[in-house]
Each structure stands twice: as C-alpha cells, then as structure tokens.
Chains A and B, each alone.
Chain A
C-alpha cells in the first residue's frame, strides 16, 4: 500500500535555529501533502497544504514565513521550521490522500523539541 516516510522521527534544537522535516512518498506520487501539528493531549490541526510545483496554502493563524513548505517533486515535501522557539515544540506529521477507497496515509511523525 501507499507509504509515506517521514524524517527525522525526533529532533532537539536550540532556540533560533531552523529544522527541516522531510516526507517522502515511497511507492506512489503525492501531488498533495498535508502538514499537521499536534500539541500534547490535543488533536491534529492542519497547518498547511502543499501541492507539487505550486505555493503552499496555509491555514489561518499559521505563519508562512516561519513554517516554510516546499513540494518540489511528486515524492518529496518538506517543512522547515525557521527560527524555532520553545512554543514551536510539538509533534508534526504529514499526510497524503490516497486513491478512492484507500483513505489517507500518514508519516510516522516528528517530535520537535526546542530548548
């Protein structure tokens, strides 16, 4: 079935630095990738939608200059958290829609801790 590989699974970075998270579709072409964020004991909240070859669409309240999304190919979408701060510490996870009848496929998630 469709597999999305997400790396890294966890990362600790210093405040002010940038962190890049990658999501690769391994056995299918993902023209669209959704990026979610999950704070402790909260549900997944959509941050942005990336589309191959075009600019990402950000949800209200999400800073596009802080969370840079690139979807340069049909198999790779990246999220870069720039100038990270402790309040950016969260669980980030990507997802690609499947073909009809196959639902959505999720990456394994990235636990970001900013110290």
Chain B
C-alpha cells in the first residue's frame, strides 16, 4: 500500500530557528512530490513541487529536497517566523494526472 508519513506530527520552535520537516513514502517510484501549507480551516497553498528527476527546489526561505531511492523528502525552513505557523502537508503522485496521496502533516508553531 502506498503511504506517506510525516514526522514530527507537531513542532514548536522559537522565532528565528531553522527547522526541518520530514516526509517519507513507501513506494519510491513517485512521479512528483509537492509540499503544501494549510492554515486552520483553510484550503491548501502550494509551496514547492519537486519532479521525480529533481533533487531539490527552493523558494525564499524554503528548501525542499528529494531522495527517491530512500523514499524521503525534507522541507527546510530558514529563520522561522510566527507567520510560518501552520500545518505542512507532503503529498506524492505516482503518475501524471493521478491523485495525490497525502501525509497527515506536521503542525508547526513558531513563537515570538
């Protein structure tokens, strides 16, 4: 069964800290991997998309890496801010145009 696991489930850090969120997937033959942010009661905001042929993607203070062979991805957030507080979801697809499979997310709380 294709599953996505995210560790930790929750994380609390002081403002300014660098942090890493982890995502693992059981079937390494992914087509792409996408990181999202979800604020309470809201929809999803796409953060970064990594195609299976890529190793990492960067956007501002965010950097996502992909290691297909080990079935892992990490989302690195530099210099965290209170506004980064949200749930971060990792999702993978296995074929173009097929549905994403989501992890349960990591809920991040950044205190000022």
| Most B-side CB within 10 Å, residue of A49, A91, A95, A104 | A104
Tell me the interface secondary structure of chain A in the complex: strand
Q: Is A25 an interface residue (CB 8 A)?
A: no
Are B89 and A43 in contact, with the CB atoms below 8 A? yes
Binding site for A on B (CB under 8 A): 32, 34, 36, 41-44, 46, 49, 51, 89, 91, 93, 96-105
The verdict on A102 contacting B97 (CB below 8 Å), with A108-B42, A111-B41 known, is no
Please list 22 pairs of residues, one from A and one from B, whose beta carbons are closer than 8 Å in the complex, sorted by A's number.
Answer: A34-B99, A34-B100, A43-B89, A44-B91, A46-B100, A46-B101, A49-B99, A95-B99, A95-B100, A97-B93, A97-B98, A100-B96, A102-B49, A103-B46, A104-B34, A104-B46, A104-B93, A105-B46, A106-B36, A106-B44, A109-B42, A111-B41
Binding site for B on A (CB under 8 A): 6, 32, 34, 36, 42-46, 49, 91, 93, 95, 97, 100-109, 111
Across chains A and B, the number of contacting residue pairs, with CB separation under 8 Å, is 55
Nearest B residue (CB) for A10:
B41
- Residues of B within 8 Å of A97, CB to CB, are 93, 96-98
Nearest B residue (CB) for A4:
B43
- Distance A115 CA – B90 CA, assembled complex (angstroms): 32
Listed from nearest, the 5 A-B pairs whose CB atoms lie closest are: A103-B49, A108-B43, A109-B43, A43-B104, A106-B44
- Residues of B within 8 Å of A111, CB to CB, are 41
- Distance A14 CA – B47 CA, assembled complex (angstroms): 37
- Distance A2 CA – B99 CA, assembled complex (angstroms): 17
Nearest A residue (CB) for B104:
A43
A43 contact from B93, B96, B99, B102, Cβ within 8 A: B102
B48 to A: closest C-beta gap in Å: 9
